[in-house]
Amino acid sequence: MKRFLPGILAMAIIVVASNILVQHLFGQWLTWGAFTYPFAFLVTDVTNRLQGARAARFVVVSGFVVGVICSLIGSQIMGEFGPLVTLRVAIGSGAAFLAAQLTDVTVFNLLRRDRWWKAPLISTLIGASLDTAIFFTTAFSMSLVWIDPANDVAWANETLPLLGFGPQVPLWISLATADWCVKIALALIALTPYRAIVWRARPSVA
């Protein structure tokens, strides 16, 4: 348990920070949380490389528990339009995190003997794409309104040009697309700290 502590603490900090920052907009299509949450994949991948899949899964589950606690707290705080965290957002967030991070661990394991950058990059790209698809569909798609009929998501389904200039799509598609683009960009950027951390801790496996 003690050897997992750095990964657990790092994941907890990222999850808590992201849950706070997601309440604040950055431009028209993003929240500040979009820039912190993707680093959860960095924590998972570094843990996986240095301590193995079991440790990485333990860190993921710990992050999931922290996320659930944050959602429970957020559901009790009332904002301008109701609870800061609705049932659909809570379910989408938890399901997306768990599915994406555990998929990341599995894909990383399959590629861990390839060139150093393949496992963290490809596992993060797949995990991040899964995370975006699950969260935004669950939280905002009209096809899943039965999850929480009392939660009005009409605002997220207003038809607008994609990212302000593309074809007409529901607003949540633009939000998801912008979120996904940030995750992909940060997956590339995160290769540098990943390489540095792993090399410093264990040069033989970097």
Q: Token pair of 141, please?
A: 């798609």
- DSSP letters, 68-113, are HHHHHHHHTSEETTEESS-HHHHHHHHHHHHHHHHHHHHHHHHHTT
3-state secondary structure of 169: strand
- For 31-83, the pLDDT digits (tens) are 999 999 999 999 999 999 999 999 999 999 999 999 999 888 888 877 666 77
Residues 6+ apart with CB under 8 A from 46: 7, 194, 197, 198
**What is the extent of the structural domain holding 62?**
2-205
Rounded to 5°, angle at Cα 89 from 188 and 108 = 30
Q: Residue 164 pLDDT > 60, yes or no?
A: yes
Taking the CB of residue 29, how many other CB atoms lie within 10 A of it?
Answer: 19
pTM: 0.92
* pLDDT given for residue 17 in this prediction: 92
Q: What is the mean pLDDT of the segment spanning 105-123?
A: 96
Give the Cα separation of 25 and 41 in Å (integer): 22
3-state secondary structure of 153: coil
> Average pLDDT over the chain, rounded to whole?
92
Q: What is the mean pLDDT of the segment spanning 92-98?
A: 95
1: pLDDT confidence band, cut at 50, 70 and 90? low
* pLDDT given for residue 203 in this prediction: 67
Q: Number of folded domains in the chain? A: 1
3-state secondary structure of 37: coil
- For the domain that residue 76 is a member of, what is the CATH number? 1.10.1760.20
Q: Residue 124 pLDDT > 60, yes or no?
A: yes
Distances in whole angstroms, Cα of residue 77 to Cα of each of 21, 22, 26, 92, 202: 15, 14, 22, 18, 44
Q: What is the CA radius of gyration of the chain?
A: 17
Least confident of 37-41, 95-99, 151-155, 199-203: 199-203
Q: What is the mean pLDDT of the segment spanning 165-191?
A: 96
